[in-house]
Amino acid sequence: MAQLSPPPPRLLLPGLIPREPGLETYPVRPGGLTGVRLAPGDRITVIDLHGRQPAELTVLDRTGCTGAALGITLDVPATVLRASTASPVAAEHGVDPHQALAVQLFGPWSAAGSQEVFTAAEEAVALVAAPAAPMDVHDATANPPSDLLLEVRRATPRRTFEPLLPEPLAEPVLDLRIDATSARAYEVKKGQYVQVIDVEGRQCSDFLAFGARQLQQGVERGLDATTTRYFTGRAYPRPGLHGKFYDEEAQPLVEVVRDTVGRHDTFGLACNAKYYEDMGYPGHPNCTDNFNEKLGGYGVAARAGWPALNLFYNTAFDDDHQLIFDEPWSRPGDYVLLRAMTDLVCASSACPDDIDPSNAWVPTDIHVRVYDARRSFSMAIAHRVTPEAEPTLSKQTAFAPRTRALTRQFTEYRGFWLPDSYDNHGPQAEYWACRERAAVMDLSPLRKFEVTGPDAEALLQATLTRNIRKLSHGQVVYSAMCNETGGMLDDCTVFRLGDTNFRFVGGDDYDGVWLREQAERLGLDRVWVKPSTDQLHNIAVQGPASRELLAQIIWTPPTQPAFTELGWFRFAIGRLGDHNGIPLLVSRTGYSGELGYEIWTHPRNATALWDAVREAGEPFGLTPLGLQALDMLRIEAGLVFAGHDFSDQTDPYEAGIGFTVPLKSKEDDFVGREALLARRANPQRTLVGLELEGNEPARHGDCVHVGRSQVGVVTSATRSPVLRKNIALCRIAVQYADLGTAVEIGKLDGHRKRIPAQVVRFPFYDPDKTRPRS
């Protein structure tokens, strides 16, 4: 008789990631502590996600801190718990946290994915900690602290999915549940924060706000979507410089402080009776009627349809400019945090729409929390490395205490806030400082990974296009990383620190996930890929004066190259000032097309490094440089940017970096090799430079034509200050890639307005790279 396979895990809702009913997962951050309450029969699994990360497991039960409930002996100090300021759960069990014990899990060489499993024999609390020590640039062990994962499988699973609300961001002054298909009105004082939480995920919540003082005077001044879109230049505001919602008098009412979803709507009305009547559902509950009922007591006149900030409502415009919608992106516990700019009367709904995908067909609850104005919350957007990963909030770099003093022009860049430009300078002045003197920029968001172990070289050789076996100690190489079809996952630089130690620097957290997946696929079990972005922050000092400037403050030992003799794409490990200074790594690399260096150090030393560079740079006219100026520099230098000049639909040849694929000299196989051989033999598109006529610029995504036919697309464009021309990078059909070929850049609909251009050599600036090599 054939053996039946076990049933698949129940889906939360059809089409989504399977969710096991009895499974709960909790992250344990480096240096952090995560606790869960256990019932008899519950099973916990502690997972070392990246490898080489010790864990401390403390168990609190009816006998105190013994470990008996999990059948283990606690025999080492619980260092993280002992260092915590307070532990109410320890006090609840009569345990002094400063005397607490733990059992240590995982060793200094534990493999990625290592697991330890325990089953509770009685009620208990399990506390899992991830001890963390800082990693310096000169650390030979190259073992940055990393995340653990705590899984709990309940002996008695809940029959239905009952998500728990996220912990309050602070003590709420108002904690308000809005039942499915209903609405509530509430008052918020100036400076207070409003957190709107999607309890179960994929549920829309319309949000209204009115100036309270105006209402007292009989005047309605509420959020106005059209005014807001006009002033912010976006479909809806997001955290950052242009993050406010305005009323029709252009007065700001609320500011977006945090957003863990990133997809909302300001075009549609809150659902109303006419919508449902037209769809054949007369008498259906609707947000507009709910709002009218709740707001009448504040003197707000009823309306047939309320324009609202439609939180979590997933709308977009298709290629025919039709407004379309689908199920929300929000997940259980996702939220938007707003700050009141004045005293407000607010209203929030839990939308009752169950006749289309707006609420994934099943309306559920919304929860609102209001926090005191004296609280302070970081401005943030949430990012997930993979669809199932826990969200992480954008943060400041370690150089922010210095850059914030110089500008308020920040933009969110891949999970970090970076200066867009600097007050009292501006992009043009910053650009010229780099071309003529020296400039300093914060590039800490670059994603760093320590790739170590006996199989480290084999992994990188099998996953990158460059020949890593030829990489010498102290050398850096620029490479592409491709999938099986030859499409680029990312570009990167690789530093060789030793025989079995490499540092991978890319642009995306997923790079590390993919490298670990490939190691498992290839059976390379003696390699560790550990994220070190939070352990290494970096600045770039670029420009013709950069060598002379930095030579005054960077010391290297006799075992390393002298700083002034450091070659292009080489690095040295040294210190700031002298042999007693802070440790740092300096590489002769950059993203500007000029002579330049990048300096890497631990975040705790970042401000000291910035201050030293700024002081040494004052005689040279050193200027801080933001992202706008950097974009001009890198386009002139022909340096590509992910999401613009390449994607996983683009191979390195089409991205203009075919030199990173040495198919003749690298005989070893690597991911995408066969596809790249075929693509090189039959090229379809390539990257070229375009020089435009006139003063009108091109934009990313503009179509490029020869006659009526579209033959290419603009990937990046700028006005070149040094060339005094508009230039662009363009991916174009190979038939039109010859120098001097005349093309037209389509504006409007691509046909009614054209900008003449011709194919030119690129890089546009210093095409032989004599300046960075100098």
Give Cα separations from 172 to 195, 376, 459 (angstroms).
Answer: 10, 13, 50
- pTM of the prediction? 0.94
Stretch 22-33: mean pLDDT: 90
Let me know: does 140 contact 329? Beta carbons within 8 Å: no
For residue 412, pLDDT over 50 is answered with yes
Give Cα separations from 325 to 201, 316, 413 (angstroms).
Answer: 16, 6, 27
Q: Is the dihedral of CA 728, 731, 736, 738 positive or negative?
A: positive
- Domains of the chain in start order, with CATH, are 23-153 (2.60.120), 172-376 (no CATH), 395-445+536-633 (3.30.1360.120), 451-532 (3.30.70.1400), 681-774 (2.40.30.110)
Q: Which residues contact 230 (CB under 8 A, 6 or more apart)?
A: none
Burial degree of 486 (CB within 10 A; 0-12, 13-18, 19+): buried
pLDDT of residue 518: 98
Residue 591's pLDDT band (boundaries 50, 70, 90)?
A: very high
Give Cα separations from 270 to 204, 295, 626 (angstroms).
Answer: 10, 14, 40
Give Cα separations from 339 to 169, 171, 307, 406, 575 (angstroms).
Answer: 13, 16, 20, 25, 44
For residue 57, pLDDT over 50 is answered with yes
For residue 160, pLDDT over 80 is answered with no
Cα separation, 461 vs 665, whole angstroms: 13
Total number of residues shown for the chain: 774
For residue 140, pLDDT over 90 is answered with no
Residue 429 CA, chain-centre distance (Å), reads 29
For residue 32, pLDDT over 50 is answered with yes
In the beta sheet, which residues pair with residue 77? 101
For residue 59, pLDDT over 60 is answered with yes
Stretch 451-457: mean pLDDT: 97
Provide the residue type at 711 as one letter: V
Cα separation, 577 vs 582, whole angstroms: 8
Q: What is the per-residue pLDDT across 249-271, written as a single tens digit (0 to 9) for each?
A: 999 999 999 999 999 999 999 99
Cα separation, 330 vs 313, whole angstroms: 9
Let me know: does 176 contact 367? Beta carbons within 8 Å: yes
Question: What are the two backbone dihedrals, phi and then psi, of residue 485, each rounded to the nearest 5 degrees?
Answer: -85, 0
Provide the residue type at 590 as one letter: G
Let me know: does 507 contact 491? Beta carbons within 8 Å: yes
pLDDT of residue 15: 45
For residue 746, pLDDT over 90 is answered with yes
Stretch 181-187: mean pLDDT: 98
Stretch 522-531: mean pLDDT: 96
Let me know: does 256 contact 333? Beta carbons within 8 Å: no
Let me know: does 124 contact 94? Beta carbons within 8 Å: no
For residue 16, pLDDT over 90 is answered with no
Sheet holding 488-496, edge to edge: 476-482, 488-496, 501-506, 447-452, 528-531
Tokens 């003749």 appear where?
664
pLDDT of residue 703: 97
Under DSSP, the state recorded for 413 is E
Cα separation, 497 vs 449, whole angstroms: 13
Cα separation, 257 vs 191, whole angstroms: 12
Burial degree of 261 (CB within 10 A; 0-12, 13-18, 19+): buried
Q: What is the dihedral of CA 565, 568, 571, 574, to 10 degrees?
A: 30
Residue 500's pLDDT band (boundaries 50, 70, 90)?
A: very high
Q: Which residues contact 92 (CB under 8 A, 6 or more apart)?
A: 60
Q: Which parts of 386-425 fold into alpha helices (H)?
A: 400-403
For residue 560, pLDDT over 70 is answered with yes
Q: What is the per-residue pLDDT across 80-89, written as a single tens digit (0 to 9) for each?
A: 999 886 677 7
Q: Which of 457, 478, 769 is nearest to 598 (CA)?
A: 478
* Percentage of the chain modeled with pLDDT above 90: 88
Question: What are the two backbone dihedrals, phi and then psi, of residue 456, each rounded to the nearest 5 degrees?
Answer: -65, -50
Query: How is residue 364 written in tokens?
Result: 């559920």
For residue 4, pLDDT over 50 is answered with no
Q: Which parts of 136-211 fold into alpha helices (H)?
A: none
pLDDT of residue 107: 87
For residue 11, pLDDT over 80 is answered with no
Stretch 444-454: mean pLDDT: 97
Q: What is the per-residue pLDDT across 193-241, written as a single tens digit (0 to 9) for each?
A: 999 999 999 999 999 999 999 999 999 999 999 999 999 999 999 999 8
Q: What is the dihedral of CA 556, 561, 562, 567, to 10 degrees?
A: -130
pLDDT, averaged across the chain: 93
Q: What is the per-residue pLDDT across 686-719, written as a single tens digit (0 to 9) for each?
A: 999 999 999 999 999 999 999 999 999 999 999 9
Provide the residue type at 271 as one letter: C
Least confident range from 97-106, 130-139, 142-151, 714-723: namely 130-139
pLDDT of residue 321: 87
Residue 475's pLDDT band (boundaries 50, 70, 90)?
A: very high
pLDDT of residue 774: 93
Query: How is residue 557 written in tokens?
Result: 């030992």
Let me know: does 583 contact 138? Beta carbons within 8 Å: yes
Residue 161's pLDDT band (boundaries 50, 70, 90)?
A: low
Q: What is the per-residue pLDDT across 298-324, written as a single tens digit (0 to 9) for each?
A: 999 999 999 999 999 999 999 888 999
Check residues 630 and 63 and name the one with the higher pLDDT. Answer: 630
For residue 575, pLDDT over 90 is answered with yes
Q: What is the per-residue pLDDT across 533-552, written as a single tens digit (0 to 9) for each?
A: 999 999 999 999 999 999 99
Cα atoms in the 13 Å half-sphere on the side-chain side of 417: 22
For residue 467, pLDDT over 80 is answered with yes
For residue 728, pLDDT over 80 is answered with yes
Stretch 414-436: mean pLDDT: 97
